[in-house]
Structure 1
Amino acid sequence: MDLAVKLSILADAAKYDASCASSGTDRRHSGPARPGGQAQGLGSTEGAGICHSYAPDGRCISLLKILLTNACAFDCLYCVNRASSNVRRARFTVKEVVDLTLDFYRRNYIEGLFLSSGIVRSADYTMEQVVRVAKSLRLDHGFRGYIHLKTIPDADPALLAEAGLYADRLSINLELPTEAGLSQLAPEKDARAVRRTMAQLRGRIEEAKAEARAPRFSPAGQSTQMIIGADDSDDRATLETSANLYGSYRLKRVYYSAFSPIPDASSRLPSKAPPLMREHRLYQADWLMRFYGFSVHEITEADGMLDLALDPKLAWALRHRGLFPLDVNRASREELLRTPGLGRTTVERILSARRFRALRVEDLKRMRAPLGKALPFLATIDHRPRVSVLDAANLRDRLVPPPRQLALGL
């Protein structure tokens, strides 16, 4: 098969995996030139390109995102590449992936590689092929750009140990929020095997960090993905699973991917995709759990779902109106972080500024706080919302943004 055709098939097949962000990688670039002018090493994680993956400092890191093959021995009902799917199959050789990565880098299209694969022959064979790509890039070609490898459940621990030596990040997809859902839609997969692999990776990552002279091992950590809306798991179950993964395995990120209907789908799958806003609300709730001190049960509604019309922090505040208004000149950091519209940066600015003077509405405006969302919940020396405003039945309607301007901030 022509290489361009393979690339078209296997790049398209990889688009369903959302867990390809490059957050957390080391800042690396080609070393100083050798005598004669040739640079040591090839590639960089610092440049910008045509990519949608972002590092914590805002750098955009371009990734060639492909599958090694879309052939798979498993028949997961939600997967377009499942064994029984009537899709065109393709497979790269190790050399083809290496050559494509280098060629795309030299053309300034990419700064790194995200490589996943369907399972062919066995977990060990597939994992060995994936590792060979990263090993060749690093050792044979001195590639110093970002590499993210998708690991295979139940692959030999020795292969996982080798993968971490060459990859910046490793990930293994849990796929569905609950074991019951996985048993129903992907009976060949074992959630316990996925967690065993996560535990192995956590152990090796922590060992490498603890020992100064140890070889670097997946320095950007590990991540996973869950498909949302393929089974009947509610948002609370999804977030509870995420909280457990963050706590037990120190994952860097859990990614949420809304289920997309596929051709010739099983009757056990939904006939239509869930609202994309549900995926977005889960990301917001995930952020509140990790950085704002919220628990799963605080964030979700009584029915176990997130409010699609409101961001989770605003929805929580409306359910707890008795805690407001907060005096910005007296409230604690934790209380301010729970106020709609106030992010971590704004809260730190408030805490710093109020050490020197009592804050007014104009001060909040200069801090670029979204006053339309925040003021009903805050009091300053020149503003105190009437109790009747917080108690107003239409407050929710007033704070819900128009459909085309749904607020993204927390």
Structure 2
Amino acid sequence: MRIEEKLAILADAAKYDVSCSSSGGTRKNVGKGLGNSHVSGICHSYTEDGRCVSLLKILLTNHCIYDCAFCVSRRSNDIRRAAFKVQEVVDLTLNFYRRNYIEGLFLSSGIFKSADYTMERLLQIVKKLRTEERFHGYIHLKTIPGASEQLVREAGLYADRMSINLELPTEAGLKLLAPEKSHDEVKRPLDWVNKSMIQLNEERRVMRHVPKFVPAGQSTQLVVGASEESDKDILYTADRFYRDYGLKRVYYSGYIPVSKDSRLPGIGSPPPLLRENRLYQTDWLMRFYGFEVSELLDDAHPFLDTAIDPKLSWALRHPQEFPIDVNSADYRMILRVPGIGVGSAQKIVQARKFGKLRFDQLRKIGVALNRARHFIRCPDSVVTMREISPNEIRQHILSAQARRFSPTQLTLF
């Protein structure tokens, strides 16, 4: 099979993996090699379905010994199969980089023969790029579940970021749709890499020369909508993995129907992209706004409200917390006001040292007053949450949004 045919097949198969962030790399070129990796990350372009293509994003092969119901490369699926040789991936990466098509490599693979057999070939590719070709560009390498600790640790010396897909949020969902896999096979390599990163960071404090080891950290991916887990189940799983393994990111991938298996959603149903978006917003609140999962979702509200963003949803369910006085409230509570982001909250805390803030000043700072004005109090406040009900606020905000966007745009939200 020609290289062009392999590339078309294996690049298309890789599009279902969304965990291809490139920020956090610190590998610098001192003029003796090719490429450079920056902390600020790589500028991304997107395909029509919204997938990132700034990295050469491919599978080593789409042959697989597993038969996961939600995976397009599963063993029983009748698709064209292909596999790259180790040197072919090396050559593609270098040639594409020299032509300015890419700024790095995202390499994953189906599992053929065994986990170790596959992981060895992935390791050979990144090792050749780093040691023989002196490639200093960004490399994101997928860890193969079930691979040996020695192979995983060695791969961490050459990759900028490593990730391994948890696939489904619960062990029960995994056993239903991918009975040959288990969460333990994912947790072990995450733990190995996390402990190695901690150990090397401690050594770096007392030693001058310590090798780089996964400088951009680890991530994982969860498939959303292929099984019956609630948003609460998904986010509790994500929160646990953030805490236990120091992950940089958890990615949420709306299930794209690729099978007629009766255990899965219908083949004609669209991917739950809006649900995916709300999960990302909630993940952001957990990581940067100080929210706990238990505050955002519970047994009474196991699913996120798709009509409004999760911070607004939380605020409407907790009217006793509002309105707050932006000129005296602490930073934590200002962050919890819908329409106020991290940057705006920091500016508010600094600006109010020089005098009382009013609505016109908040607008200049960057506060989205169409939402925030219902939850804050200023010297020129007129109506706040104490005067109108949460339901009235919700309807007012949704009506304003409907007037602002066309019907076509609203479908995207």
**Partner of residue 14, structure 2:** 14
CA contact (8 A) 1:51 1:110 kept: no
**Partner of residue 237, structure 2:** 241
Match of 1:232 among 219, 228, 237: 228
Distance in 2 (CA, whole Å) between partners of 1:384 and 1:129 is 66
Match of 1:74 among 66, 77, 84: 66
Distance 1:52 1:27, change over 3 A: farther
Listed one character per residue, the Cα deviations across residues 27-50 of structure 1 (whole Å, up to 9, x for unaligned) are 62x323xxxxxxx11012249666
Distance in 2 (CA, whole Å) between partners of 1:373 and 1:386 is 11
**Partner of residue 308, structure 1:** 306
CA-CA distance at 1:406 after TM superposition: 6.3
Distance in 1 (CA, whole Å) between partners of 2:385 and 2:170 is 43
Distance 1:251 1:21, change over 3 A: same
- Establish whether residue 162 from structure 1 lines up as the match of residue 162 from structure 2: no
Task: Judge which range, 2-11 or 320-329, deviates more.
Answer: 320-329
Q: TM-score, normalised by structure 1?
A: 0.92
Distance in 2 (CA, whole Å) between partners of 1:211 and 1:176 is 35
Listed one character per residue, the Cα deviations across residues 245-267 of structure 1 (whole Å, up to 9, x for unaligned) are 0000000000000011114x211
**Partner of residue 214, structure 2:** 218
Distance in 1 (CA, whole Å) between partners of 2:193 and 2:3 is 34
Distance 1:27 1:127, change over 3 A: closer
Backbone CA RMSD of aligned residues: 2.1
CA contact (8 A) 2:257 2:271 kept: no
Match of 2:165 among 141, 154, 173: 173
- Establish whether residue 125 from structure 1 lines up as the match of residue 151 from structure 2: no
CA-CA distance at 1:358 after TM superposition: 0.8
CA-CA distance at 1:76 after TM superposition: 0.3
CA contact (8 A) 1:68 1:117 kept: yes
SS of the equivalent of 2:373 reads helix
Distance 1:323 1:187, change over 3 A: same
Distance in 2 (CA, whole Å) between partners of 1:162 and 1:378 is 53
Match of 1:269 among 264, 270, 286: 264
SS of the equivalent of 1:217 reads coil
In structure 2, give the amino acid aligned to 1:6.
Answer: K
**Partner of residue 142, structure 1:** 134
Distance in 2 (CA, whole Å) between partners of 1:390 and 1:142 is 64
**Partner of residue 336, structure 1:** 334
- Establish whether residue 201 from structure 1 lines up as the match of residue 193 from structure 2: yes
Match of 1:297 among 294, 297, 310: 294
CA-CA distance at 1:275 after TM superposition: 2.5
Task: Judge which range, 199-208 or 82-91, deviates more.
Answer: 199-208
Distance in 2 (CA, whole Å) between partners of 1:217 and 1:345 is 31
Distance in 1 (CA, whole Å) between partners of 2:42 and 2:250 is 24
CA contact (8 A) 1:258 1:273 kept: no
- Establish whether residue 375 from structure 1 lines up as the match of residue 373 from structure 2: yes
Count of aligned pairs between the two proteins: 394
SS of the equivalent of 1:383 reads coil
SS of the equivalent of 2:19 reads coil
SS of the equivalent of 1:165 reads coil
Distance in 2 (CA, whole Å) between partners of 1:386 and 1:48 is 43
CA-CA distance at 1:405 after TM superposition: 5.7
Distance in 2 (CA, whole Å) between partners of 1:354 and 1:137 is 53
CA contact (8 A) 2:236 2:293 kept: yes
Distance in 2 (CA, whole Å) between partners of 1:84 and 1:318 is 48
In structure 1, give the amino acid aligned to 2:339.
Answer: G
SS of the equivalent of 2:305 reads coil
Q: TM-score, normalised by structure 2?
A: 0.91
